[in-house]
Amino acid sequence: MNDHPLLGEHFERHRRQIEREFGVPVPGEILPADQWTTTALKKLPPPGPLNFSGLFGRKVPLMLDIGCGNARSTLASAVWRHDVDHFVLPVVIRYATRRANQRGLKNVRFAVIGGRELLVDYIAPQSVDEIHVYHPQPFYDAKLVHKRLITPEFIALVHRSLVPGGLFVLQTDNPGYWKYMQQVVPLFFDFTEHPGKWPDSPKGRTRREIIALRQGLPVFRGTGKPRSDISAADVLKLAESLPPPTFDADRKLKELDKLEHGADTSDKPRRDAKRR
Ligand SMILES: C[S@@+](CC[C@H](N)C(=O)[O-])C[C@H]1O[C@@H](n2cnc3c(N)ncnc32)[C@H](O)[C@@H]1O
| pLDDT tens, position by position, 117-143 | 999 999 999 999 999 999 999 999 999
Question: Which residues, other chains included, contact 271 with Cβ-Cβ below 8 Å and sequence gap of 6+?
Answer: 15, 16, 17, 18
Structure confidence at residue 179 (pLDDT)? 98
Kindly report, residue by residue over 32-72, the tens digit of the pLDDT.
999 999 999 989 999 999 999 999 999 999 999 999 999 99
| Residue 230: how many other CB atoms lie within 10 Å | 16
Q: If you measure from the C-alpha of residue 170 to the centroid of ligand 1, how many angstroms do you get, rounded to a whole number?
A: 12
Distance from the Cα of residue 24 to its chain's centroid: 17
Q: Which of 88, 137, 151, 174 for mutating ligand 1's site (highest number of atoms within 8 Å of CB)? A: 137
Q: If you measure from the C-alpha of residue 67 to the centroid of ligand 1, how many angstroms do you get, rounded to a whole number?
A: 3
Q: Which atom from ligand 1 is nearest to the alpha carbon of 207?
A: 9
Q: Which of 99, 122, 135, 258 for mutating ligand 1's site (highest number of atoms within 8 Å of CB)? A: 135
Structure confidence at residue 257 (pLDDT)? 78
Structure confidence at residue 1 (pLDDT)? 44
Q: If you measure from the C-alpha of residue 107 to the centroid of ligand 1, how many angstroms do you get, rounded to a whole number?
A: 21
> Any residues with Cβ below 6 Å from ligand 1, and which?
66-69, 89-91, 114-115, 134-137, 149, 206-209
- Asked if pLDDT for residue 273 goes beyond 80, the answer is no
Q: Which atom from ligand 1 is nearest to the alpha carbon of 68?
A: 6
- Say which residue, 18 or 55, is predicted with more confidence: 55
State the Cα angle at 264 between 146 and 80, rounded to 5°.
90
Q: If you measure from the C-alpha of residue 201 to the centroid of ligand 1, how many angstroms do you get, rounded to a whole number?
A: 19
List, in order of start, the domains of the chain with CATH numbers.
Answer: 37-265 (3.40.50.150)
Kindly report, residue by residue over 137-188, the tens digit of the pLDDT.
999 999 999 999 999 999 999 999 999 999 999 999 999 999 999 999 999 9
Kindly report, residue by residue over 225-255, the tens digit of the pLDDT.
999 999 999 999 999 999 999 999 987 777 7
Q: If you measure from the C-alpha of residue 114 to the centroid of ligand 1, how many angstroms do you get, rounded to a whole number?
A: 9
Structure confidence at residue 81 (pLDDT)? 98
* Residue 227: burial class (beta carbons within 10 Å; 0-12, 13-18, 19+): middle
Q: Atom 22 in ligand 1: which residue has the minimum CA distance?
A: 67
